Amino acid sequence: MTIDNRPKIVSPHDVETTLNYCVPHGPIPLIKYITEPPEGTPWMNFDIVSYPVTVHDVRSTPLETGASLDTQAFQFLEAPCKEREFLDEAGFANEGGYYDEVKELVVKNVDGAKKVVVFDHTLRRLAEEPKGDRGVERGPLLRVHVDQTEDSALRRVHKHLPEDEANRLLSLPNQRVRIVNVWRPIENVVAHNPLAVADWRSVKHARDLVVTRKMLQPGKGEGGTYNVRHNEEHKWYYMRDMTPNEVVLLKCSDTQGVDEGGIAKMCLHTAFKDETSDPEAPSRQSIEVSGRSVPFV
């Protein structure tokens, strides 16, 4: 007898699956090493536990075109680009390169953004995320997280803007800084490991988000991210069969965001296993570009 263990399709679009959340077993903040930790030190001081969830497809729903960064903390867009192969990483920052396309996209679609500073990109071409020391090769990250903490986001303002501009930006009460991640599939329609995003209105900030120190390569200091505790109230969404001509914007931080209600502060997200997809489909490839939008020139 053959037993089919694949998650079933709950509706024509939605998928039952599991998402990986953190369970701390040490002091807060949590610690996650990106490169080999000191001898006798574990890679991280928390466990990863899978919980069953339903991830809802936004195709042909109001959220396909109606989700917004300030309400849900994510936004789907049709956004063809000139870059197709994404092989010349050094050329992304050249005039007319992919970074310029991202800046134009953000200014056009993020209310109030007049200036965008791109500071990072990540290409994910591996079928799986490497365990242990990741190096430069990356795969889909199957863990619920947020890319920045409030403190690490403020540090990036000082790191990537001239000091006088950073001080001005952060001192004026009506100024606003947002870090936005622009996520796009590469080459193929996404079948495996699609990206799930959580509606900020379903998140309990103080309870769910756990500050995590991200220990970087020697000499590069550390970063800050949030891992996330499971909460059955989280509402998860994705775009089925997302194409390279589509993007999803993820809000990573917002100086005007609030913990609960009002303006969304940040977007919980993760890749997830969709066993209902075609097993013969090519592996997911994607690029994510992080930039800071500010409301002045």
CA 275-277-279 angle, to 5 degrees, is: 85
What is the number of alpha carbons within 13 Å of residue 153 lying toward its C-beta? 28
| pLDDT the model gives residue 219 | 64
Contact by Cβ (8 Å): 222, 216:
yes
Sequence-distant (6+) residues with CB within 8 A of 277 are: 191, 192
Residue 96 confidence (pLDDT) above 50: yes
Token readout for 116 is 């965008």
Sequence-distant (6+) residues with CB within 8 A of 73 are: 197, 198, 199, 200, 250, 251, 264, 265, 266, 267, 268
What distance in Å separates the CA atoms of residue 98 and residue 92, rounded to the nearest whole number? 5
Does residue 285 or residue 221 have the better pLDDT? 285
* pLDDT tens per residue, range 19-65: 999 999 877 789 888 888 888 888 888 999 999 999 999 999 999 99
Q: How do beta strands 269-271 and 115-124 pair?
A: unpaired
